Amino acid sequence: MSTAADKNAKVPPQEENHQASLSMMWSLLKRLFNDIMRRAKNIIYRNQYSLSSKTKRKKSKTKKKKKKKNSLSSLPNDVVLKCLARVPTSYDRTLGCDSLLLSLPNDLVLNCLARVPTSHDRTLACVCKNFQSLVLSGELAQMRSLLAAMKDDPLLCVFYIDSTRRGWRTFHWVTFNSKEKKTSPWKSVDISTNQNMRTCPTLSLGSKIYFIGGSDYDAECSCGLVIFDSRSGKLSKGPSMKVARKGAGVAVVDGKIYVIGGCWNEINQVEVFDPNTQTWEFGPLGPHGKITYEKVSKWNEFRETVALDGKVYGMSFSIYRHTIYDTKDGTCENLELSQEYTENIIKACVINSLIYGFYHEFGLMWYDTEGKIWRKVKGLCCDAVPNMVECNGKLALLWEDRNEKIWCSMIALDKVGVEIHGRVEWSEFVVSGDVDTYAWCCLGLSL
């Protein structure tokens, strides 16, 4: 038994030093243990984070793989073919790649996707963000509604430039659905360019109308290009031509716009505009390195121009011959014609691989490429000066009556032996109002 005296007894110095060292060692061990535990926890957290990140990466990779499966290849073959059939042949190399429609221009993609039934919209939305935005926005639905309204027939666009108010500075237009026989209300947009759009060479390609160069009434030539988008209702300036022209011949071959003439005979360049790349380039020239125009005049202008079988037929304005330019090799051919078959031609178009022209004195005629002569279409009589538009294998004639009303007649063209007979299937009122009786025009629009 220990007593109080024993407790109060002093501890020897050696034993006191020993206890102090033990307590110091114990504190060091505790600090070391805490440090080891902290590092162990960090290692455990790092391992857990790396495992979770790996699983996330694997999931993202599997998602990407799943997205790749949701490409156009998952659509039915007939749907894919219907889409790709709308793509110009110039993009065949692009279609051969895995990207398919992804690298095509947006307006062309929209045109193609509008052919896909709405039941496949979920698949389209999984292809890429661009397709998803088109599906979610109203653009695709709007394009589909236009296609449903048009079906196989183009819209006929009647337009004119206001020459009385504000000095040719307003563009007015309406569209006529020849299948439903309905006309849209008049619309207008201000013109911000000095180019003479009123009488310059004009053509349509898809849903757009192109105003190219200067008019034969202008004092000077022009390199300008103005583009009207019928879907948005906007006018915009396109890239300028390399050669200034006026009264040139313009025609569409394989989705590209060819421009010939409208300049001095010494200038032999043919220019080609690609709407997809928005670029101009020179067309090919034949072995002689030039285009053969009429030798009588030093200036070459064309009253009407059409394209058939890869060739551009330029019908001279006041010279008695045609200039035929082959877009494949640049060779040229000239056809001697009498004055009555060149100077008096008003309009021309191509229907079922035949060239049709309307003349002041002879009415509607067709061009016999074998005999190289113009022949009269039988069974038709038209006193007014019409506008002519090809409409799904038929001829749409638009003219203005004495009451300033514009009418449309749909003409079926039947070949009987060596002759062609015209039949009026129907005539319908199109529009009336404040229309410029001198310079209104009509072109066909397709999507």
CATH code (residue 314): 2.120.10.80
CA angle 178, 180, 185 (to 5 degrees): 80
Torsion angle, alpha carbons of 21, 27, 31, 33, to 10:
90
Range of the domain at 216: 151-445
* Domain identity same for 95 and 134: yes
In this prediction, what percent of the chain has a pLDDT beyond 70? 62
Q: Are residues 439 and 391 in the same domain?
A: yes
User: What's residue 2's pLDDT?
Assistant: 47
pLDDT in tens, 295-331: 555 567 888 899 999 999 988 755 556 788 999 999 8
Q: In what order do the strands lie in the sheet with 345-351?
A: 345-351, 354-359, 363-368, 373-376
- Residue 212, Cβ density class (10 Å: 0-12 exposed, 13-18 middle, ≥19 buried): buried
Q: Find the radius of gyration of the CA atoms of the chain.
A: 38
Assess contact for 175 and 155: CB atoms under 8 A: yes
Give the count of alpha carbons within 13 A of 337, CB side only: 29
Number of domains in the chain: 3
pLDDT at 228: 95
Residues 49 and 22 in one domain: yes
Whether 222 and 307 map to the same domain: the answer is yes
Q: Are 129 and 135 in contact (CB under 8 A)?
A: no
Name the β-bridge partners of 171. Answer: 161, 189
**pLDDT band at residue 383 using 50, 70 and 90 as cut-offs:** confident
| Shared-domain flag, residues 142 and 178 | no
At 407, is the secondary structure helix, strand, or coil? strand
Phi and psi at 368, nearest 5°, equal: -85, 105
Q: Is the pLDDT of residue 14 over 90?
A: no
Long-range contacts of 407-415 (CB under 8 A, 24+ apart): 408/156, 408/176, 408/178, 410/178, 411/364, 411/380, 413/351, 413/352, 413/354, 413/356, 413/377
Same domain? 161 vs 300: yes
Q: What is the signed CA dihedral for 322, 326, 329, 330, rounded to 10 degrees?
A: 40
What is the pLDDT at residue 94?
A: 53
